[in-house]
């Protein structure tokens, strides 16, 4: 399986922004140049293993959290992410999100070959 560098970059950018970090700060924390962080976030460069580990450590996440879009055995990462997204929802928000998920799941199974 090929690594999805664009998806890795999107995750890194999202996590960086969630933590209130600039590209400059993440670069300093991970031993990278700011331009390299920009390239990584755009999926324009391949990451070396030391770079991947450095960025994961700086963001205080596991490497599998950054690679989950490229790993078939990463179900727990997505489940944890979903639980985190739902953790601060109100009762009404949870009700609406649950119904949306139910409808989306039914559509995916009816119209697309998305099963693993």
What average pLDDT does the chain have? Answer: 92
Alpha-carbon separation of residue 81 from 47, 73, 75, 76 (angstroms): 23, 15, 10, 8
pLDDT in tens, 73-106: 888 888 998 999 999 999 999 999 999 999 999 9
106 phi/psi in degrees, rounded to 5: -60, -45
> What is the percentage of the chain residues whose pLDDT exceeds 90?
77
pLDDT in tens, 61-76: 999 999 988 888 888 8
The structure's pTM equals 0.73
Question: Would you state the pLDDT for residue 116?
Answer: 56
């Amino acid at each position: 399986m090929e690594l999805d560098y664009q998806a890795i970059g999107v995750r890194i950018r999202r996590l960086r922004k969630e933590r209130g970090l600039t590209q400059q700060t993440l670069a300093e924390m991970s031993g990278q140049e700011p331009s390299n962080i920009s390239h990584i976030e755009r999926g324009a460069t391949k990451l070396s293993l030391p770079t991947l580990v450095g960025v994961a450590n700086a963001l205080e996440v596991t490497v599998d959290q950054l690679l989950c879009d490229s790993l078939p055995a990463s179900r727990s990462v997505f489940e944890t992410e979903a639980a985190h997204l739902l953790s601060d929802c109100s009762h009404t928000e949870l009700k609406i999100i649950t119904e949306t998920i139910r409808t989306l799941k039914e559509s995916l199974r009816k119209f697309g070959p998305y099963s693993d």
